[in-house]
Amino acid sequence: MGESINLAVEAKGISKSFGGVLALDNVNLELRKGEVHALLGENGAGKTTLSNILAGLYRADGGTVLVDGAEREFHSPSQAIEAGIGMVHQHFRLVPPMTVAENLHLGSPDTPAIVSQKKLVASARRMMDEIGLEVDPTARVWQLSVGEQQRVEILRVLARGAKVLILDEPTAVLTAQEAKDLFVVIRRLVAGGRTVVFISHKLNEVIEISDRITVLRGGKHVVTRDAAGATPRELARLMTGEELDNSVEHRTVDGSVVLDLIDVFARNHRGIEALHGVNLQVRSGEILGIAGVSGNGQTELSEVVTGLRRTQSGSISIAGTDVTGGTTRSIAELGVGHIPEDRIGVGMAGSASVKDNAILRHYRSSELSSGTRLKRGSVIDFAKRLVAAGRVQTRSINMPAGQMSGGNQQRLVAKRESMIADRLLVAAHPTRGLDVLATKEVQSAIVERRDNGCAVLMISDDLDEVMLMSDRIAVMYEGRVMGIFDRSQFDRERIGMLMGGQVEGAPS
């Protein structure tokens, strides 16, 4: 009995299926008061489904939910929040043109029908004082950084009296500093007796912030354990059910220069100079990783190389062909693939079918078209082949690509681009947002291209990933290449200093 008093929420035997697919199978979850409880699992493990049931967005097919010892069933998120359970979703549900104060009061039953901006701001300040979280209440949401917007979401949920706060992959959208700030907020909340459910598949983070960890796999409960003493390797095994070999073989190759940038200058989309005389060479059979804090010209670099952005001056050549000012199409035809940073916004059309997205780079080839006509049979064969080879999980190639999970959209784009990358693959944040298994798959695909003689330019703001994957590392800071490290010279500390603009870290 003593323990059940300490339980904020107890979910017993929760099951849920979607269209015949079992998403949750008899899952139990106990949330104690004042703890950070991590829900860990691969994409599709059931983390989000379980939280959506607790937050009243879905209804369970079976099982019971006890809040403070009393059985409850929620038909809507507002009923869940009345019972004290609130959720902050991965994609924010704020109204960008409205102020923070307005957003905090939006849809709340306590907001009076007629109210002045002044009263809203005052009431917002009161909420922030009570909860102990600060955001300028008069600022408009679109002016805020992503981290601040997330704080508004958290405030909005807590202001309705939530005692249990569910955060769905809260750090996926944050910078490293913002993530640190969020952790401070989380610790303060649990110190005040609240419960935080932290959904993630980033293992280091989970170990750092949580008190207890529940691992789900394939809709089933695997284990609930204390975070203290857990290792990333052990958690990864529990999540994936297999031992992952997380190493990449490196060797020094002396391939010919494929990508050659000489003194390249370019502006960003706001017209400000983003590349400041970049000199870089990527050789056949090597992965050159670009390390740097995001926003230091990496995005523009990938865009000038693939023809999406004009250069101001300097020259770019690929396999000896000058491509300065070339079109995306002419560059792609040289055998250049591009996994773009914004996959959904640039790399694919979500409303178009998986099939149409699969052929985006190949539809002009003689395999898929003759003259002006597309060969429909070959198109279907090709799409099926790509889906199978890229391990894209989809019910049908005629389904809109945007309805697949993010990981599968990523696999589709990554495979499509790898297939045309005979000479050069430009991969911008290729594993961002992916779970452990999918990350491993995409990384192996990149290594496989390299081993076949392709030159790879890889951009990532995850230094661990850059150090794992790269044969050489170039550090970028404020649009310049600060230094280039051979694998034997890799030194996290020196690379980190260069990323911050301190030249003492430069390699000899």
Partner 1 sequence: MSLPFRFARRLEVNNKRSTSYRISGAIAGLVASGLLLLLTSRNPIRLLGQSLDAIFGSQRGIEGVMVQSIPILMCAIGVALSLRMKIWNIGSDGQFLMGAFAAVGVGTKLDVPHWLLIILMALIASIAGAAWILIPALARAYWGVNEIITTLLLNFVALQLVLWSALGFWRDKKSQVTQSTEAVQAVLPRFPGLDSVSISFIVPIVLAVLFWFVFRSTRVGYEIDMIGGNANAAEFAGINVKRRIVTVMLLTGAIAGLGGMLQLTGAPGAQALSGGFSNRFGLSGFIVAALAGASFAGVLVAGLFISAMFYAGIALQTKGLSVYIIFGIYGVVLVGIAVGETMARFRLTRTDPTSAATTTGASA
Footprint of partner 1 on this chain (CB under 8 A)? 19, 59-62, 64, 70-73, 75, 307-308, 327-330, 332, 338, 340, 345-352, 356-357, 359-361, 363-364, 369, 372-374, 376, 395-396, 398-400, 403
Of 455, 497, 454, 456, residue with least CA distance to 475 = 497
In 3D space, the residue among 132, 139, 145, 95 whose CA is nearest the CA of residue 117 turns out to be 139
The pair of structure tokens assigned to 51 is 């939280």
Residue 453 in contact with residue 284, Cβ under 8 Å? yes
Q: How far is the CB of 332 from partner 1 (least distance, A)?
A: 6
**Whole-number minimum distance, CB 404 to partner 1, in Å?**
9
CB of 338 to partner 1, least distance (A): 8
Q: Write out the DSSP string of 360-407.
A: TTTTTSTTTEETTEE-HHHHHHHHHHHHHHTT---S-TTSBGGGS-HH
CB of 352 vs partner 1, minimal distance in Å: 4
Q: Which is nearer to partner 1, 155 or 368 (CB)?
A: 368
Query: Closest approach of Cβ 446 to partner 1, in Å?
Result: 19
Residue 42 or 356: the one with the smaller Cβ distance to partner 1 is 356
Instruction: Tell me whether residue 84 or residue 307 sits nearer to partner 1 (CB atom).
Output: 307
Rounded Cα–Cα distance for residues 166 and 85 (Å): 8
- Yes or no: say if 292 and 309 are a contact pair by the CB < 8 Å rule: no
Cβ atoms within 10 Å, residue 176: 12
Q: Are 472 and 259 in contact (CB under 8 A)?
A: no
Given the complex with partner 1, which of 68 and 462 has the nearer CB atom? 68
Between 176 and 399, CB nearer to partner 1: 399
* Nearer residue to partner 1 within complex by CB, 108 or 365: 365
Q: Which is nearer to partner 1, 224 or 324 (CB)?
A: 324
Q: For residue 224, what is the enclosing H or E element?
A: strand 220-226
Nearest to 461 by CA among 431, 490, 494: 431
The least distance separating partner 1 from the CB of residue 371, rounded to whole angstroms, comes to 9
- Smallest gap from Cβ 69 to partner 1, in A, equals 11
